[in-house]
């Protein structure tokens, strides 16, 4: 079976994508697949048509990879791929649209507003979280405590995104739940040494501590919510749903990731291992 791994790309998360893609590529080769790595460039269409892969494994994070564009491109070429389709990818990439859909279905999310260039900032609750509505890996993430910090953070985020999300800060714990083939994996609590699970905390060894949730009732509630989010957003094969659990134990959905990281520090493979599924088995399951 010939599998092309799409990696790299043009987003702010290119470096992480290359690391994820390399891990996937190595696993595929060890499993006996004919695995070929491709980056996104002007020759991508020609290369794919020449290679005629049986399947594509998308290891692209962020814009052009996780937002439905590459999925639509592959659909037009008639090449099957791992993961969510155009609709689910595009909706999940936009945190504002995600929150609107989840709110409609009664899924708890932090209170939020969005701001575009030239719009006034209608927000007076602090602390608050400021982030792009359409980026992943905590790119452009700020925790602000005063109005002047908020305005500065919004300006910085507008330099990398057309839509800024300002979100209520929920005091509590960061937790994530992976979904593999419609089954919820064990929830993981993330404790950042910085107190904010930002880009550095995610991808620098020793910057975060990872603890599996042992409270059975909470773990079950998180898994049920994660599966509901996966279903409501029409996701497929794989996702990772991020939560903030308040001090009184109430989970709030922050976002859905349709192409979770596959690096040595990534949460999704970690949850799979806890479930007894090693990295190569996980990759094989996703291709089946």
Whether residue 17 lies in the annotated active site: no
Indicate which residue of 21, 62, 83, 261 is catalytic: 261
Mean pLDDT of the chain: 93
Confidence of residue 193 (pLDDT cuts 50, 70, 90): confident
What integer pLDDT is reported at residue 203 of this predicted model?
Answer: 54
Indicate which residue of 134, 167, 189, 242 is catalytic: 242
Res 204 pLDDT > 70: no
CATH number for 91-108+170-287: choose from 3.90.45.10, 3.30.470.20, 3.40.1280.10, 3.30.465.10: 3.30.470.20
Whether residue 255 lies in the annotated active site: yes
Res 202 pLDDT > 90: no
Indicate which residue of 240, 244, 252, 266 is catalytic: 240
Whether residue 137 lies in the annotated active site: yes
Fold designation for 112-168: Dna Ligase; domain 1 (3.30.1490)
CATH number for 2-82: choose from 3.30.499.10, 3.50.50.60, 3.40.50.300, 3.40.50.20: 3.40.50.20
Whether residue 242 lies in the annotated active site: yes
Backbone φ/ψ region at 31: left (φ over 0), alpha (ψ -120 to 50), beta: alpha
Whether residue 167 lies in the annotated active site: no
Alpha-carbon distance values, 129 to 132, 157, 227, 261 (Å): 10, 12, 25, 22
Whether residue 257 lies in the annotated active site: yes
What integer pLDDT is reported at residue 192 of this predicted model?
Answer: 78
Indicate which residue of 89, 137, 239, 266 is catalytic: 137
> Which of 230, 119, 100 minimizes the C-alpha distance to 111?
100
Cis amide bond preceding 74, omega within 30: no
Indicate which residue of 33, 81, 203, 252 is catalytic: 203
Whether residue 39 lies in the annotated active site: no
Domain map (residue ranges) of the chain: 2-82, 91-108+170-287, 112-168
| pLDDT tens digits along 246-285 | 999 999 999 999 999 998 779 999 999 999 999 999 999 9
């Amino acid at each position: 079976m010939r599998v092309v791994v799409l990696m790299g790309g043009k987003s702010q998360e290119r470096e992480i994508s290359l690391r994820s893609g390399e891990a996937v590529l190595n696993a595929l080769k060890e499993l006996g697949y004919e695995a070929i790595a491709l980056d996104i460039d002007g020759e991508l269409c020609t290369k794919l048509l020449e290679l005629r892969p049986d399947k594509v494994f998308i290891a692209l994070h962020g814009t052009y990879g996780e937002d439905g564009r590459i999925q639509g491109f592959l659909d037009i070429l008639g090449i099957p791929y791992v993961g969510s389709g155009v609709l689910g990818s595009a909706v999940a990439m936009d945190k504002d649209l995600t929150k609107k859909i989840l709110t409609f279905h009664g899924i708890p999310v932090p209170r939020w507003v969005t701001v575009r260039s030239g719009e006034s900032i209608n927000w007076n609750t602090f602390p608050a979280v400021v982030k792009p509505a359409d980026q992943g890996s905590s790119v452009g993430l700020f925790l602000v405590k005063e109005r002047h910090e908020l305005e500065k953070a919004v300006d910085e985020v507008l330099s990398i995104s057309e839509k800024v999300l300002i979100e209520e800060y929920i005091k509590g714990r960061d937790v994530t739940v992976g979904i593999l083939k419609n089954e919820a994996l064990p929830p993981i609590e993330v404790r950042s040494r910085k107190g904010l699970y930002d880009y550095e905390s995610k991808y620098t060894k020793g910057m975060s501590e990872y603890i599996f949730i042992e409270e059975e009732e909470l773990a079950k509630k998180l898994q049920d919510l994660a599966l509901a989010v996966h279903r409501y957003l029409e996701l497929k094969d794989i996702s990772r749903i991020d939560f903030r659990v308040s001090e009184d134990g109430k989970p709030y959905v922050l976002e859905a990731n349709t192409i979770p990281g596959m690096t040595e520090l990534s949460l999704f493979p970690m949850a799979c291992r806890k479930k007894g599924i090693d990295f190569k088995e996980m990759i094989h399951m996703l291709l089946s």
